Structure 1
């Protein structure tokens, strides 16, 4: 993509020193925080309701998680190609409204007649599908909103908002399910998505869409645009490695979380509040990881930070199967594990996103994000189902050990690739699109 497109986009971006003084960036930050808080609350509320109230077995819990993750596999590539030609603010506003309405309807239905697994499956799929649209849009929006030298700072801020959501979401969801009811917990998520809708809707800057001269006369068909994104990622060594490492991580992590959400209440006999508290520890860790991501890569090198942080964050889950019973040390140990995981996984997330955005032209941002999302997270439904099958066949403790060991494959792939040799500065952006 020629530089003229970037220049046009830069004309509406804030000056490098004014990122936090820019009202539109603040609005998207507030909206992202509320949206992520709603999402993390929902991710805990629906499985806990299924396990604690509906007595869902391992297979049913795995199916519930898989249904919510299936849109990543089904929609990511199409959404990414579409977002590259749309204003991201509009996409984010509509998806927030849709998630608020879906969860609000579920809350009302639950208060009137009680919730069932079929309703949970339906809402999980709808919210998951809308989340794909929101995630693709917000990742592309940052590149259109800030300057290139603000990408790490901007990503650190947005990922920090996700950290805040990870602090409050699981604890809020677990507490509301335990103390009040699942419908009240679902309603709280609907209100958070409404807050995000109102914040992002108030953005005033007119977004400049990237232009591709090849598209000036006749926009290419959707399949051609998808193919361009796939080809661009496949040809770039760094992006290709990110895809493979992300796929290995997300397959194993989805299996881990399915077993984990069974292991905590059933094997360790923890209440919903204790489960939420343990999971919420990921949030403070992720907040620390976001702060570290703004400093460590430029000091020690992007490659060294990626590999070491991924190894430390993924390997810590190997400690969980050693826990027994609901002793006084169990919850603090779980908090420690989740804090370490949150810190280093967030450090990896922010650093990887900055590298991806740096090596991708503006007009390809949506498609590249969608391709990585498709390959990297497309296996999560399979991982969730696999976790349920393993838990039924081998038991939760053995299954947790095996699936946690699988997570270590991700840093291994990065360590064996040129990604590990990235220095203290971001790679250059190509001058043209494929």
Structure 2
């Protein structure tokens, strides 16, 4: 008898024209986000001189829209056509980000203005994410979902590889605020590509009668009920919520640790993030095979077990310009590899076991809870870094990653497959 690992691979999803255009537009967005990450950190920490607590607040503001409008966005996207939402929300991100270089050139940029712009860009991102994850199952067949998510993961990691050094170089050449103008252009180009994407709508996905759509809150409750009463998705969701708490605190402290504690230049800081992208690409390339051999559930569990090691390595990094950089490089490489092979399997599994009419609400429920935890994590990371120091905060964060791994490791996700 043939095992699941010996089964033939599904057809290449990039041969599907609709997915190919979606992939291209999403790849441009990934590059824009990668440049934005470095530019915002450099702008807030180096040019505007934010304190540790203020850095945490700025990072938390970026996740706040998921807490405030995430559930509503998921319910609305399930009711609306996906393509217009994707185009308009991506376009909105580009327009909003362009405000930061405009304010900088006018001499009016402040931390409060940066926070306001990032909040509005976050609102657009909420709808973009809901539409992206809801539209994918309409573009490819179910057996292609892990492969399609792997292709998106591969392009994301390429962006994470070249985007941070590119962002660091742009910051060194043009300044952090002006570099955000390049990110804005990337989002605008992505929106243009999405307009050329054909999204087939099968009869089963046709809008429900008006009488069945009277209460949007009932729709939201249905999505929450599905996620938190599902045999395998519930432990996955709880573990992921804890993971986001730890990860948000970790990346907040990492930016401060690298730029302020070790004194890395924006370019070297971007280079450490790029290493995560390099190894993430390798992980994404291996993701379909790992999912087929180990099962999607076991693949996600493996990644969760490795994350505490990543951040333990950062905590062990000495305040030395050479060895500190080496330790950060090792940590980011392992971190990126785990992200690379985990994400496609996690997303493909969630999309495969969720009915199409609930996709937007399921993902929105997951994202809203995740980003709510990220708000808390960013604030805690910034505050604790200023109170107990960078190293102690990183060790505490590693302990929270262990908790996330234990929750999913002792659950029905062990051995779970699409």
What is the TM-score when the length of structure 1 is the normalising length?
Answer: 0.90
Aligned-partner Cα distance in 2 for 1:93–1:213: 20
Q: 1:281 aligns with which of 275, 278, 303?
A: 275
In 2, are the aligned partners of 1:313 and 1:345 still within 8 Å (CA)?
A: no
- Structure 1, unpaired ranges of 5+: 1-15, 427-434
Against the structure 1 CA distance between its residues 413 and 205, is the aligned structure 2 distance closer, same or farther, given a 3 Å change threshold? closer
What is the TM-score when the length of structure 2 is the normalising length?
Answer: 0.93
In 2, are the aligned partners of 1:156 and 1:294 still within 8 Å (CA)?
A: yes
Q: 2:378 aligns with which of 381, 384, 387?
A: 384
Q: 1:363 aligns with which of 351, 357, 367?
A: 357
Aligned-partner Cα distance in 1 for 2:297–2:208: 35
- Structure 2, unpaired ranges of 5+: 1-9
Aligned to 2:16: 22
Residues 55-98 of structure 1 deviation map (CA, whole Å, 9 limit, x = unaligned): 11001101101111101111111111111112221111101111
Aligned to 1:60: 54
Aligned to 1:312: 306
Matched, 1:174 2:171: no
Q: CA deviation at 1:289?
A: 1.5
Aligned-partner Cα distance in 2 for 1:167–1:350: 18
Q: 1:325 aligns with which of 309, 316, 319?
A: 319
Aligned-partner Cα distance in 2 for 1:112–1:32: 32
1:40-55 mapped onto 2 (5 Å cutoff)? 40-55=34-49
1:167-246 mapped onto 2 (5 Å cutoff)? 167-208=161-202, 210-211=204-205, 215=209, 217-246=211-240
In 1, are the aligned partners of 2:83 and 2:199 still within 8 Å (CA)?
A: no
1:329-344 mapped onto 2 (5 Å cutoff)? 329-344=323-338
Q: CA deviation at 1:217?
A: 4.0
In 2, are the aligned partners of 1:67 and 1:125 still within 8 Å (CA)?
A: yes
Q: CA deviation at 1:248?
A: 0.6
1:355-434 mapped onto 2 (5 Å cutoff)? 355-422=349-416, 425-426=417-418
Aligned to 1:298: 292
Aligned to 1:100: 94
Aligned-partner Cα distance in 2 for 1:105–1:388: 26
Aligned-partner Cα distance in 1 for 2:183–2:111: 19
Aligned-partner Cα distance in 1 for 2:130–2:26: 13
Secondary structure, counterpart of 1:327 in structure 2: coil
Aligned-partner Cα distance in 1 for 2:213–2:150: 34
Q: CA deviation at 1:410?
A: 1.4
In 2, are the aligned partners of 1:313 and 1:342 still within 8 Å (CA)?
A: no
In 1, are the aligned partners of 2:90 and 2:188 still within 8 Å (CA)?
A: yes
Residues 34-54 of structure 1 deviation map (CA, whole Å, 9 limit, x = unaligned): 112112221221122111011
Secondary structure, counterpart of 2:80 in structure 1: coil
Secondary structure, counterpart of 2:392 in structure 1: helix
Matched, 1:140 2:137: no
Residues 134-184 of structure 1 deviation map (CA, whole Å, 9 limit, x = unaligned): 111100111111111111111111122211221122222222223321222
- Report which stretch shifted further, 328-337 or 267-276: 328-337
Q: 2:110 aligns with which of 109, 116, 120?
A: 116
- Report which stretch shifted further, 327-336 or 257-266: 327-336
Against the structure 1 CA distance between its residues 209 and 101, is the aligned structure 2 distance closer, same or farther, given a 3 Å change threshold? farther
Q: CA deviation at 1:405?
A: 2.3
Secondary structure, counterpart of 2:413 in structure 1: helix
Aligned to 2:147: 153
In 2, are the aligned partners of 1:244 and 1:376 still within 8 Å (CA)?
A: no
In 2, are the aligned partners of 1:212 and 1:363 still within 8 Å (CA)?
A: no
Aligned length: 409
Aligned to 1:70: 64
Matched, 1:127 2:97: no
Aligned-partner Cα distance in 2 for 1:333–1:153: 32
Aligned-partner Cα distance in 2 for 1:213–1:95: 21
Aligned-partner Cα distance in 2 for 1:29–1:240: 29
In 2, are the aligned partners of 1:306 and 1:420 still within 8 Å (CA)?
A: no
In 1, are the aligned partners of 2:72 and 2:220 still within 8 Å (CA)?
A: yes
Q: CA deviation at 1:315?
A: 2.3
